[in-house]
Structure 1
Amino acid sequence: MDTRRHSLAVALCTALATLLFLVSSPSMAAAKSLVLKPFKQLSQESAECAACHKEKNPSVYAQWGRSKHYGANVGCYECHQAEPGDKDAIQHEGETIAIIVSPKDCASCHSAEVDEFAKSHHAKAGQIIGSLDNFLAEVVEGALTFNGQSPAAVNGCWQCHGSEVKVMENGDLDPTTWPNTGIGRLNPDGSVGACTACHQRHEFSMVQARRPEACGKCHLGPDHPQKEIYEESKHGINFYANVDRMNLDSAKWIVGEDYDAAPTCATCHMSATREQPITHDVGDRISWTLRPAVSEKIDAKAKAQGKEVKSWEDRRRDMTDVCQSCHTKSMIDSFYQQFDSLVNLYNDKFASPGKTLMGTLKKEKMLTDVGFDEEIEWTWFYLWHHEGRRARHGAAMQAPDYVQWHGMFEVAERFYVEMVPQYLEVVEKAEHAGNTAGAERARKVLDEILARPEHAWFTGKEPENVKKARKEAQAAFKARYLNESK
């Protein structure tokens, strides 16, 4: 085909695709806005895709028609094109394409965003093989009954963390690993991540990505209820009360300039301020890591390995910059003192001692090598993985009920009423089995922990003046309520 005929074919296909979109547009307002635009100069391949998918997948077609990609002449082929040698390449209507659009594909236009994402904790989310969470889903609660995989892991863990997408011998994507939009997905082309975890295809709406619900797919539930915590906080209350003033479709969306009603997850962790650009490294402004059993500053592990990374102080400074869009510096500093005090309390009173107790039992060979086959292992997991995380995240995001009743209250109950007695039971069992020396060492470890001032109430060794003052306060409290009820 000569150049003129080729150009004419492109123009005709483009005109047809655009006309079809206008006819099928879901609202008159949308159709009117599109009528004002000239015909799009799509590639011939994308024009052909659009003409077909308009009929077969009208919702996908409409979503794309509302997207910025449509406005930039980016069509189906520009994102889905593949090389014949790609692992997941298939032949479709005479073209070589891939179903998966990976960060490597997106990087052809959005290289800065992909580079930032690659440095983030999100990019490592798919590396959960061997973790306690994955062991639970694959073995304890699951079974390898779905093509050699556990349905609990396939439908649960992997849908947030990301699967290792595999291509079967016939070229199809393995259904145990696809569909999947997990944030740390391991793609056939070697790239890591799924941009569609946050930017839902095929519209890729900024509004949708900026709302807290976008993060709520994964950041909710008993072990990391950030979405529920946000909704309890004053920030969340203000967002839902004033969502119509959030200016969510603003191109730059700078807090303090484009909106001031409330922050969302994106505001604090990703979006631009008057001083900072947008970042796709969601941990770039986080100073503590609240994920492990014992919290540490976010850069502690890297520093221990001799790596140069952004310091926790610099990260906190950048988060403080976000906060200062709405709050005074003195208020922010006081908040961080409150937050730090809660994390340190959790670490020092419960988490570090709990980790020491579990480490002692393993060192003295009083536990089996199999995970979660003994009651105390479940107790310890609940303490740090569920209740401990809730308390810490509640403090970080200002949700007092999660700090107290869903958090530290349950941490304390788990430690004193379950973990300590179970520890002594395991030690006693080992002693009866002949490990008397180990039992003596293990009891000494517990005695040293409980001898600390913060546990004096439990051992009955509080100073008399402290106990007296508490009893007087309790009596006054009861008297006040008794008088109020008359």
Structure 2
Amino acid sequence: MANKGDKDAFQHFGFTISTIVSPLDCGKCHPKEEKEVTESHHAKAAQFVGSLDNVLGRIVEGEPLFNLGCAQCHGRTIPVKNGLPVLGPWPNEGIGRINPDGSKGNCAACHFRHSFSLKQVREPDMCGKCHQGPDHPQIEIWELSKHGIAYKAHQSEIEQTLDRAKWVLGEDYYQAPNCVTCHMGASVTGAKATHDVGARLSWTLRPPISKHKPNWQAKRAEMKKVCAACHQRVWVDGFYYQFDNLVNLYNTKFGIPANKIIKFLKSRHLIDPTPFNEKIEWTYFLLWHHEGRRARHGASMMAPDWTHWHGLFEVAERFYFELIPEADEIVKEKGTRKDKRDWAKFKKELFSRPEHKWFKGMPKSELRKIAEFYLKRYGQTAQ
């Protein structure tokens, strides 16, 4: 039921109802969950409007794509006319939907009507509906991690517990974790169930350069409580040590220098302000938005092939053999003498750094080791 004064209220066979059930409606019975959702990053997902992702979806590709693609995961503002949602924007099931009552979020993005099945909402495929693909392949990464492999092996056992109201790691199941376990679930080691999916994340792996989230130490401590249900402290601390090193490697070796290259070109007016109308902007976007994210996400969930071959390997190739050569060509064609001097200085400083020195030639001792390895292992030199 709706109130007559609601923007999206209309008469239906003598009843005042609304099409859109918002978090404020759900919060009448579930105030804790509504508060957690409203404060979560999920509820803010529609704020991507204005981002480069939005430019691609809404402008480069087009509004119909935006409505059926971007907005179905992120959400969007839903206008109403005569109490009914306006077609085009509606229907929408995005998790960050901005509703006519002013609330942000959409419980039905995960809790499908009309069964509101706990089993359905706890299945990894629920998260994979949006968290998949070349730019954020969390579901693919998890499936090929040891966690995902163990889950699949014991899926029939775990699925017998998924519809229980109480679902505590270490009490109700123990065989393997899924998305809900780590990001939302309760554990015998003190983790409390939450609908704030970012409450345990210490890094933001989305942007061109990763940053620690506010209050990241406390958030990491909450995630470690979940880890501790199955792993010893030395394992958990060791994982985070490796993970932090990988994120810092991406940032310092590729993310920050690549960002400086684009800023250099823009500050010298060598590329114009319009996004995506020049090849190098696509190159840079793919470097951080696709390959760089895959490396960081792969590391976060212990999937080595995603971290390496689908991740930093492709970042390195794009950085050394696309981004820098394309910048070279732009400076050569459009730059002033000062631009060319400054660009040469930037490159000299870049390639003098220890992590990039290899590109200008490896020591003979290292080359000899490689040659000896291939001769011993394969009876031939490296191809």
Q: TM-score category by the smaller chain?
A: over 0.9
Contact 1:285 1:319 in 2 (8 A): yes
Is 2:197 aligned against 1:282? yes
Q: Deviations over 1:230-273 (max 9, x none)?
A: 10001111111101221212221111111111101000000112
Q: Is the 8 A contact 1:294 1:347 kept in 2?
A: yes
Kindly indicate whether the alpha-carbon contact (under 8 Å) linking 1:430 and 1:439 is maintained by their aligned counterparts in 2: no
> What's the counterpart of residue 176 of structure 2?
262
Query: Which residue of structure 2 aligns with residue 125 of structure 1?
Result: 45
Contact 2:46-2:75 within 8 A present in 1 as well: yes
Within the candidate set 101, 104, 111, 2:31 is matched to: 111
| SS of match in other structure, 1:96 | strand
1:411-457 deviation digits (Å, cap 9, x = unpaired): 001000000100111111223xxx22223223322221122111111
Q: 1:471 aligns with which of 355, 368, 372?
A: 368
| Amino acid paired to 1:183 | I
What pairs up with 1:121-200 in 2 under 5 angstroms? 121-142=41-62, 150-168=63-81, 170-200=82-112
Of 243, 258, 272 in structure 2, the residue corresponding to residue 368 of structure 1 is 272
> In terms of Rg, which structure is larger?
1
Counterpart-to-counterpart distance in 2, 1:348 and 1:419? 16
For 1:87, the equivalent position in structure 2 comes to 7
| Mapped partners of 1:116, 1:104: distance in 2 | 12
Residue in 1 that maps onto 2:330: 426
AA aligned to 2:128 is G
Match 2:167 to one of 249, 253, 259: 253
Tell me what 1:56 maps to: none
SS in 1 for 2:94: coil
SS at match of 2:54: helix
Distance in 1 (CA, whole Å) between partners of 2:146 and 2:177 is 10
Which residue of 2 is the match for residue 219 of structure 1?
Answer: 131
Partner of 1:451: 352
Output the CA distance in 2 between the equivalents of 1:229 and 1:347: 21
Task: Determine which of 362, 386, 390 is the counterpart of 2:290.
Answer: 386
Query: Equivalent pairs: percent with the same residue?
Result: 52
**Is the contact made by 2:200 and 2:223 (CA closer than 8 Å) also made in structure 1?**
yes
Larger RCO, structures 1/2 (Cα 8 Å, 6+ apart): 2
- Runs of 5+ consecutive residues of structure 1 not aligned to the other structure: 1-80, 143-149, 300-310
Is contact 2:298-2:307 (8 Å) kept?
A: yes
Alpha-carbon separation, structure 2, partners of 1:156 and 1:239: 29
- 1:176 is aligned with what amino acid? G
Q: Structure 1 counterpart of 2:73, which letter? A: C
- Greater shift in the superposed pair: 213-222 or 170-179: 170-179
Check 1:430–1:267 CA distance in 2 against 1; reply closer, same or farther (3 A cut): same
Letter in 1 for 2:213: I
Q: Residue 307 of structure 1 corresponds to which residue in structure 2?
A: none
The whole-number CA distance in structure 2 between the counterparts of 1:330 and 1:162 is 41
- Distance, in Å, in 2 between the alignment partners of 1:332 and 1:478 is 39
Letter aligned with residue 262 of structure 1: A
Conserved? CA contact 1:287–1:316, under 8 Å: yes
Q: Which amino acid aligns with 1:282?
A: V
TM-score, length-normalised on structure 2?
Answer: 0.96
Q: State the 1:474 CA deviation.
A: 4.0
The residue aligned with 2:20 is 100
Alpha-carbon separation, structure 1, partners of 2:83 and 2:169: 47
Shift of 1:332: 0.8
Alignment of 1:6-85 (within 5 A): 81-85=1-5
Residue 242 of structure 1, aligned match among 140, 148, 154:
154
Q: How far apart are the structure 2 equivalents of 1:406 and 1:478?
A: 28
The equivalent residue for 2:185 is 271
CA deviation profile, 1:105-154 (whole Å, cap 9, x unmatched): 00000111111111111111011221100101111122xxxxxxx11101
CA displacement at 1:475 relative to structure 2:
2.3
Uncovered stretches (5+) of structure 2, i.e. residues with no partner? none
1:479 Cα deviation (Å)?
A: 2.3
Question: Cα–Cα, structure 1 residues 470 and 315, in superposed 2: closer, same or farther, change >3 Å?
Answer: farther
Cα shift at 1:407: 0.4
State whether residues 9 and 84 of structure 2, in contact with CA within 8 Å, keep that contact through their aligned partners in structure 1.
no
Find the aligned partners of 2:375 and 2:69 in 1 and give their Cα distance: 48
Contact 2:18 2:83 in 1 (8 A): no
2:226 paired with 1:322: yes
One-letter amino acid of the structure 2 residue matched with residue 354 of structure 1: A
The amino acid across from 1:422 in the alignment is E
**Counterpart code for 1:269:** H
Distance 1:185 1:162 in 2: 4
TM-score (norm 1): 0.76
What SS does the corresponding residue of 1:223 show, helix, strand or coil? coil
Partners in 2 of 1:139 and 1:447 — Cα distance?
38
Corresponding letter in the other structure for 1:430:
K
Cα separation, 1, equivalents of 2:301 and 2:38 = 25
Q: Distance in 2 between matches of 1:471 and 1:317?
A: 46
CA contact (8 A) 2:131 2:139 kept: yes
